[in-house]
Structure 1
Amino acid sequence: MTGPMTDYRRGLWMATGAFVIWGLMPLYWHLLKAVPSLQIIAHRIVWSAVLVLGWLLLKQGTRWLRAVREQPRLAGLLALSGLFIAFNWGLYIWAVNAGHVVETSLGYFINPLLNVVLGVVLLRERLRAAQWLAVAIATAGVLWLTFNYGSFPWIALTLATSFAMYGFIRKLTTIDSLPGLGIESGYLLLPALALLLWGESTGQGHVLDAWWPWTDLLLVLGGALTALPLIGFAYAVRRVPLSTVGLLQYLAPTLQLVCGVAVLGEPFGRDRVIGFVLIWIALAVYAVDGLLRSRRPAVAAG
């Protein structure tokens, strides 16, 4: 038996599961620290593409390609979004295995606020006073980290920017999440396969290496752990209010931060704490403003 409440609960569990997986991924990629980052990203693309394209072909045949055939502009947009998400994945994996998990978590804390800025700059959206305040506080946090921690948080800002641009381009597309991911995967598949073959031919590959089969198994499962949260997220956003999903998304960078500090032993001194607290305050202002506005119609209707 299914109904709106059942769909809501399933969507809530799917969204929570997706963000928990994303939050714990640094520990997974850390297990593959001996594999070059480019090889990991190539495996991630190939195996996630196999899973997503296989699922789409099994369930829909080739019907999911109809949107691209009917809208040539869509093909170009998805090629561009595929490049942004591949770059984001590659930088993230490199950063995790180079000991920058805390900074990657900062990037995904900043991302929602950067989405707001992109809306103003590229879509000419107008910000409410609370949103301007959130952006200003977050900017202060980034500046604090830059000048007091001693280095510009380029990893965090590049991750946030690349993922925000991915989301912006996908916002311009008129295609469901899963077929869109399938088309993006199709664009990335051949370059990723070429990179894997080049790695094997030059002795830099890790297929059937000294740690086989564990390394190979982890690389293959990495593709599944890339695709499954995206599928779960796509399922959830159709059944759960975006305001709820927006709050749940902070599970991922919070868990990443915990992994970096408590498990992987990265430093988190006073200057970093102050910078992060400023950004958390900004997120709280942004989230509370969104919740209050989402409830106003319901209150008025009651």
Structure 2
Amino acid sequence: MQDNNAARQTQIGILCAIAAYTMWGIAPLYFKQLDIIPAAEVLMHRIVWSVAVLTALIAGFRQWPKVKAALRSRKVMQTLLLAGVLLGANWLLFIWAINNDHLLDASLGYYINPLFNVFLGRLFLGEKLRPLQQLAVVLAGIGVAVLVFSYGELPWIALVLALTFGVYGLLRKRVAVDALPGLFIETLILLPVAVGYWVGWGSEYSQMLSNPIDLNLLLIAAGIITTAPLLCFTSAARRLKYSTLGFFQYIGPSLMFVLAVFLYSEPLQSARLITFGFVWMALVVFSVDSLSAYRKGRKVRLPDAPAR
């Protein structure tokens, strides 16, 4: 019975991971519609309207007792505070990258992230790196090194996106709070900063009474665009091994890569293409290893066949 429940939870986690990364992959289509607005102001709207959406969800699913329990735990609140800051930084850089024609850099960052997850899983969760996983990490490192030597500088956008989101996911996996209450508290922590920015530094587009209706609807939609994939992600993170979770992340950056090259015509220089090539090879190796480990795990869990 426990094995059946564990298998069901894994299936739910896989579906949530696919949904989250698909939504993140097509998110640039939304943020490109807001490129006339400063990235910090778009972030402000993400926070404000996310709090509104999450408040409605918390009330609808009667999650207030879990919110209160988290608020009473000093350890949980310290973790969620750090997670919220990392999440806000990741959101801000992602928006800025999209609206300043650095979508390829964002794509590279999220390609690197699953391999970074493996490293974090080994470092903090005791998840052992298999030989092919080690090879995948080395290949990705070579790809980044190619870009460093070609341009003489680190691909900082990609690395910061991978770092902030990787550590955020690790924190959410380790903190004892459900996805919805945890995300609500994280965004609530960021709310005073967002409101302060709105009052003190908001541009003309902050005066929503004078905006066109379609622009206001786009800004308000930031709440749904933000919360839907994050809820799916945190639900997946609670149900899957951290290294397994990284297996699905290729969906998002692949969609971003296609959008950047074929829709937004960002330049793809040879050095950058070589870097992507090494990272793609790393992900192939990583995927083959993950699939092999999954199949071996299933065989181990299967009961012995009855004697004929």
TM-score, normalized by length of structure 1? Answer: 0.88
The corresponding residue for 1:255 is 255
Alpha-carbon distance between aligned partners in 1 of 2:260 and 2:40, rounded to the nearest angstrom: 22
Please state how far the C-alpha of 1:150 moved relative to its aligned partner.
5.1
* Per-residue CA distance 1:144-179 (angstroms, 9 max, x = gap): 112124542100000000111111222220111111
Distance in structure 1 (CA, Å) of the matches to 2:114 and 2:103:
19
Q: Judging changes above 3 Å, is the alpha-carbon distance between structure 1 residues 76 and 117 closer, same or farther for their aligned structure 2 residues? A: same
Within 2, Cα distance between the matches of 1:141 and 1:236?
Answer: 28
Q: How much does 1:268 deviate?
A: 1.1
Matched residue, 2:120: 118
After TM superposition, the structure 1 = structure 2 runs for residues 8-19 of structure 1, keeping only pairs within 5 Å, are 14-19=16-21
Taking the TM superposition and a 5 Å limit, the aligned residue runs for 1:191-206 are: 191-200=193-202, 203-206=203-206
- The answer to whether residue 67 in structure 2 is matched with residue 49 in structure 1 is no
Q: Counterpart in 2 of 1:272? A: 272
Q: How does 1:49-198 map to 2 (within 5 A)?
A: 49-60=51-62, 62-123=64-125, 125-149=127-151, 151-198=153-200
1:27-64 Cα distance to aligned partner (Å, 9 max, x none) = 21111111011100000011111101221123215212
Task: Tell me whether 148-157 or 182-191 shows the greater mean CA deviation.
Answer: 148-157
CA contact (8 A) 1:206 1:215 kept: no
**In structure 2, what is the equivalent of residue 290 of structure 1?**
290
Q: Give the 3-state SS of the residue equivalent to 1:146 in structure 2.
A: helix
- Asked whether the 8 Å contact 1:56–1:64 carries over to 2, the reply is no
Q: 1:122 to 1:298 in 2, by over 3 A?
A: closer
Task: Specify whether residues 268 and 209 from structure 1 end up closer, same or farther in structure 2 by C-alpha distance, changes over 3 A only.
Answer: farther
Moved more, 34-43 or 69-78: 69-78
The answer for the alignment partner of 1:229 in structure 2 is: 229
Cα pair 1:105 1:253 within 8 Å, conserved: yes
CA distance in 2, matches of 1:212, 1:6: 46
Q: CA deviation at 1:122?
A: 4.1
Shift of 1:123: 4.6
Gap change, CA 1:272 and 1:249, over 3 Å in 2: same
Structure 1 gap ranges (5+): none
RMSD: 2.7
Tell me if the contact between 1:149 and 1:272 (Cα under 8 Å) persists in the aligned partners: no
Q: Work out the CA distance in 1 between the residues paired with 2:253 and 2:19.
A: 14
Matched, 1:281 2:281: yes
1:267 counterpart SS class: coil
**SS of structure 2 residue aligned to 1:250:** helix
Contact 2:114 2:249 in 1 (8 A): no
Please identify, of 127-136 and 63-72, the stretch whose mean Cα deviation from structure 2 is larger: 63-72
Identity %: 37
Matching residue's letter, 1:38: A
Do structure 1's residue 38 and structure 2's residue 34 form an aligned pair?
A: no
